């Protein structure tokens, strides 16, 4: 039996992973589950999947989880705190670690899993954006196997030669093409987008995702972060990676070879496909997804992104060219701005302006260790909060 730890179990990727695992009880067993604060949902998952241990990041949530499990008569060990989540990532009982804790909060546990030599299923793109070089170094040092879970990067991975490895430029590849659905505002005017609500921004037309990543999809920042991620995972220059809008979300990305061939991976827009691929690689297992009926799909549309209406894409491309600290600053500024929007303290149209202002002060150069990564993250967050303060004070000209 293959033991699996799921970090970020209550999110959409975590739940999709459990759905796939449940279909193959003869192959996989759930060893541990971790989440931030949703004790009720994690308790439900624990009672269904019966892990050996469950961890909540927040102590109060852990106490609630323990109470719920005790009342249900479940003998599942409960722990609390980031260090306990890192311990799950290193636990010898787990052969596979799904790293699905979103944001900077998932960085330490992702690095711990890599250093421990796990099969690391990477759904936490922020770990690559903030500390890509450190992550790849941990993968090499721990002899870990890293497989990307983002549908775009997993698609690229599937289209590469069998000898390709994450962190190395694949032989014979000319260009990578990342597809973007375009999000809920694909055909909205800039004026309408400027006053869009969090509910509208989170109403993705194709994917069921968390609120933060849904907003990033609406601004196209998610695609920008994925571009940065692709430069690291596939050792490609930003100029060798293009973004193309594909509203149907059937083609998940493409790889263009020097001989003129272009390979694409197609599937229904369901995260269980890349999850199942990554769990079983180099084999295949059933994922429970709807199979494609191309005759019913009818046609596939592609268009260039509108950079005037979606300036976050250019901000991310600029950070990708700078690398290092600039990418960490971009990620932090985006997290602060998006949270302010979700809290209804910032207009949707002001998200790019906040990030742009923060990036004007971003330093260059590499980040050599975790202390430098978290220092850059903290500095960028402080700067973003300062910019938000100016906005609330009515000094909108400061974002020009």
Q: Would you tell me which CATH number, out of the four given (1.10.290.10, 1.50.10.20, 1.25.40.10, 1.10.1740.10), belongs to the domain 323-400?
A: 1.10.1740.10
**Which residue blocks in 195-311 are alpha helix, DSSP H?**
198-201, 211-219, 221-233, 272-280, 294-297
Give the whole-angstrom CA distance, residue 270 versus residue 275. Answer: 9
Query: So what's the pLDDT on residue 394?
Result: 63
* SS3 state of residue 377: helix
Would you tell me how many other CB atoms lie within 10 Å of the CB of residue 250? 19
Query: So what's the pLDDT on residue 60?
Result: 97
Strand order in the sheet with 251-257: 241-245, 173-180, 251-257, 262-266
Is CATH 3.40.50.720 what the domain over 2-149 is classified as, yes or no? yes
Q: Which residues of the chain have pLDDT under 70?
A: 394-400
Peptide bond into 265 cis (omega under 30): no
State the span(s) of the chain assigned CATH 1.10.1740.10: 323-400
pLDDT digits (tens, 9 = 90+) for 144-195: 999 999 999 999 999 999 889 999 999 999 999 999 999 999 999 999 999 9
Query: So what's the pLDDT on residue 207?
Result: 74
State the span(s) of the chain assigned CATH 3.40.50.720: 2-149
* SS3 state of residue 175: strand
Give the whole-angstrom CA distance, residue 286 versus residue 29. Answer: 16
pLDDT digits (tens, 9 = 90+) for 91-143: 999 999 999 998 888 999 999 999 999 999 999 988 999 999 999 999 999 99
Which pair of tokens denotes residue 80? 């609390």
């Amino acid at each position: 039996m293959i033991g699996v730890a799921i970090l970020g179990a209550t999110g959409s990727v975590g739940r999709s992973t459990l759905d796939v695992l449940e279909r193959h009880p003869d192959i996989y067993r759930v060893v541990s589950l971790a989440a931030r604060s949703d004790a009720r949902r994690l308790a439900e998952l624990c009672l269904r999947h019966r892990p050996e241990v469950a961890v909540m990041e927040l102590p109060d949530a852990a106490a609630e989880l323990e109470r719920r499990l005790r009342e249900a008569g479940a003998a599942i060990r409960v722990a609390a705190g980031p260090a306990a989540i890192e311990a799950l990532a290193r636990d010898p009982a787990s052969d596979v670690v799904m790293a699905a804790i979103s944001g900077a909060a998932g960085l330490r546990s992702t690095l711990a899993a890599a250093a421990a030599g796990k099969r690391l299923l990477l759904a936490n793109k922020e770990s690559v954006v903030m500390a890509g070089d450190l992550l790849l170094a941990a993968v090499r040092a721990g002899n870990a196997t890293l497989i990307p879970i983002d549908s775009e990067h997993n698609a690229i991975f599937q289209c590469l030669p069998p000898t390709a490895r994450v962190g190395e430029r694949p032989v014979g590849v000319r260009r990578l093409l990342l597809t973007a659905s375009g999000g809920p505002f694909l055909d909205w005017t800039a004026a309408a987008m400027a006053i869009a609500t969090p509910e509208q921004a989170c109403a993705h037309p194709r994917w069921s995702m968390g609120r933060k990543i849904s907003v990033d999809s609406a601004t196209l920042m998610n695609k920008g972060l994925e571009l940065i991620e692709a430069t690291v995972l596939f050792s490609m220059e930003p100029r060798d990676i293009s973004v193309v809008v594909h509203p149907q979300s059937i083609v998940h990305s493409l790889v263009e070879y020097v001989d003129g061939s272009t390979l694409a991976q197609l599937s229904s827009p369901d995260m269980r496909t890349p999850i199942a691929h990554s769990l079983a690689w180099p084999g295949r297992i059933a994922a429970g997804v709807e199979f494609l009926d191309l005759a019913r799909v009818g046609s596939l549309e592609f268009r260039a992104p509108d950079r005037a209406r979606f300036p976050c894409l250019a901000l991310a491309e600029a950070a990708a060219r700078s690398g290092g600290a600039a990418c960490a600053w971009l990620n932090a500024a985006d997290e602060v701005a998006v949270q302010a929007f979700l809290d209804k303290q910032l207009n949707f149209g002001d998200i790019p302006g906040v990030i742009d202002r923060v990036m004007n002060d971003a330093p260059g150069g590499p980040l050599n260790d975790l202390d430098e990564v978290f220092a850059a993250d903290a500095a960028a967050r402080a700067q973003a909060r300062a910019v938000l303060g100016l906005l609330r004070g009515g000094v909108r000209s400061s974002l020009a």
